[in-house]
Structure 1
Amino acid sequence: MASLVALLAVALVAQLASWQQAAVAYDPSPLQDFCVADKNSPVRVNGFPCKDPMAVTPDDFFNPAMIIGKRRDTNNKVGSNVTNVNVESFPGLNTLGISLARIDYAPLGVNPPHIHPRATELLTVLEGTLYLGFVTSNPNRLFSKVVKKGDVFVFPKAMIHFQMNLDHEKPAAALSSLSSQNPGVITIASAVFGSKPPISDDVLAKAFQVEKKLIDWLQSQFWDTNY
């Protein structure tokens, strides 16, 4: 009996050690002051390699106000436009785990249901009134709210979420902070019905429990992007 207890104790300690190791290995802290992205490097890594620190300049850590501060055209099918400030346009963000996005909404404009596979999003309303929310993993509970200028709402990492401008006449805008230098985005409708090559209509008809002709029609549409 004593040997069995000892064996169980050893197994428990090993499991706890593996959990701790997994926790510290998930997203380690940077090992240097900065790692400005070198987008011209032939090296391929999970992210971007570092620019030579001696070649880094203050401009690598600067993003002009006009990129995030200017309202963008929302004349598209969904009535919204997203201005991303991530490592693709701002090399100094590389490895720092943060990025920004400005979302502009036309009257009754929608930022369609989508996910950021690598980031939690904190949204601050700059102007207007938005209806927004996110849906959890199964059993798919919806958390939604109407928010106004100055309000803040958080979308947990990888949850499907959306926003809609409730005003029939005036535009709206919001600023999002994201917990990744490259959060990524998957817009649900365009991913499902606009993928290249397309998903089999047999699969989608069965999944959505509708006739194939409806799926074929949806796949024939032009799925505009607001990014």
Structure 2
Amino acid sequence: MKAGFLILAALLALTSSSSAFDPSPLQDFCVAINDSKSGVFVNGMFCKDPTRATPNDFFFSVKEGNTSNPLGSKVTPVAVTEIPGLNTLGISLARIDFARKGLNPPHSHPRGTEILIVLEGTLYVGFVTSNPENRLITKVLNKGDVFVFPIGLIHFQLNVGYGNAAAIAGLSSQNPGVTTIANAVFGSDPSISSQVLTKAFQVDKNVVDYLQKQFWWDNN
């Protein structure tokens, strides 16, 4: 009886973990298209006839991002929108460029774990564990160093070197999503009630009003 219960628990654990990520493809590829009349709807996208696939369906050229903004950073995503051939393959990546002291602000990816490799420069990176610990785990990375940000957790990267920096992030979803914390909380449309935010952050309403009036820059 005990052995049967353990087997059932293991099966349930495997089922719950596998359903949390992109489903595995049942064909070589399923190139995404926007034409609903000539495609089959698979995993959120319409797919073209595989015999009509071209090399460009699997190609994208990543350029250095423009960091001349208040954050001093630019994220260039390479997901299914940029490479249609990524559809159903469960992976994507992004290039992140940093000016001196540039910041990729605290954010999370609801559908993907991120693994980051530094191409150049020095980055201070970290993530915060979930409740109740809310423990900050950080590391200073140099060229060639790799760091992992677990799925769904709030994380950030800050350029602490003396020049520009750049990194490549791989993500375990073709469309991992991104929620930038400050933008979501203080820049939502319509705005979150100040009554909610003053109690949540335990600050005066004038502080909340000020933050909600700011322009929250999106570096994506």
> TM-score, normalised to structure 2's length?
0.90
Alignment counterpart, residue 144 of structure 2, candidates 150, 160, 173: 150
Matched, 1:29 2:24: yes
Report deviation, 1:189: 0.3
Whole-angstrom distance in 1 between the partners of 2:176 and 2:219: 16
Match of 1:166 in 2: 160
Whole-angstrom distance in 1 between the partners of 2:42 and 2:199: 38
Quick check: 2:24–2:90 contact (8 Å CA) kept in 1? no
Match of 2:35 in 1: 40
Report deviation, 1:10: 7.2
The letter of the residue matching 1:95 is: T
Report the CA distance shift for 1:19/1:149 in structure 2 as closer, same or farther (over 3 A).
closer
Cα deviation, 1:171-190, whole Å, max 9, x if unaligned, reads 10001111111111000000
Match of 1:52 in 2: 49
Quick check: 2:41–2:47 contact (8 Å CA) kept in 1? no
Report deviation, 1:77: 1.1
Aligned residues: 216
Cα deviation, 1:123-152, whole Å, max 9, x if unaligned, reads 000000000000010120111000100000
Report the CA distance shift for 1:110/1:25 in structure 2 as closer, same or farther (over 3 A).
closer
> Quick check: which one's helix share is greater?
1
Cα deviation, 1:26-73, whole Å, max 9, x if unaligned, reads 544211111111223267765212211122112111223xxx2x3221
Question: Is the radius of gyration larger for structure 1 or structure 2?
Answer: 1
Match of 1:3 in 2: none
Q: 5+ residue gaps in structure 2?
A: none
Percent of aligned pairs with the same residue?
60
Matched, 1:109 2:102: yes
Q: 5+ residue gaps in structure 1?
A: 1-5
> TM-score, normalised to structure 1's length?
0.87
Match of 1:98 in 2: 91
Report deviation, 1:19: 4.4
The letter of the residue matching 2:147 is: F
Counterparts in 2 of 1:62-211, with a 5 A limit?
62-64=59-61, 68=62, 70-138=63-131, 139-167=133-161, 169-211=162-204
Tell me the C-alpha RMSD between the 2 structures.
Answer: 2.0
